[in-house]
């Protein structure tokens, strides 16, 4: 049988304009290496947009201000957003 695996993100993350912020996606059990992590951005009323896939790969449609990584020590996928701008206020989802 399959054990339930839960991925947890912070309720909210805030930062100042021009700042760099990170959003974590922590796996409850098993290794973060077991399944790749993707990140999506969704503005209210719009469909989700792919930012990162396979932990750290960025599609050509996504701005290079977005970067993905994984942190084995915290068993997490990480999304980094550089040069924070007002339009970056949105919902961000990790998927594995």
Angle formed at CA 48 by CA 44 and CA 51, multiple of 5 degrees: 120
Give the residues of the chain that fall short of pLDDT 70: 1-2
Q: Residue 92 and residue 52: Cα distance in Å, rounded?
A: 11
pLDDT at 2: 65
Domain limits of the chain?
18-84
Which residue, chain included where needed, has tokens 């922590």?
Answer: 26
- What does pTM read for this prediction? 0.93
pLDDT at 30: 87
Neighbours of 92 (CB within 10 A): 19
Which residue, chain included where needed, has tokens 């068993």?
Answer: 75
Question: What is 18-84's CATH topology?
Answer: Immunoglobulin-like (2.60.40)
pLDDT at 85: 97
């Amino acid at each position: 049988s399959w054990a339930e695996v839960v991925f947890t993100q912070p309720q909210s993350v805030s930062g100042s304009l021009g700042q760099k912020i990170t959003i974590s996606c922590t796996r409850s059990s098993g290794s973060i290496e077991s399944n790749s992590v993707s990140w999506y951005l969704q503005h209210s009323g719009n469909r989700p947009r792919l930012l990162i896939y396979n932990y750290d790969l960025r599609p050509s449609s996504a701005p290079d201000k977005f970067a993905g990584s994984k942190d084995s020590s915290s068993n997490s996928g990480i999304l980094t957003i550089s040069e924070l701008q007002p339009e970056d206020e949105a919902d961000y989802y990790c998927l594995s």
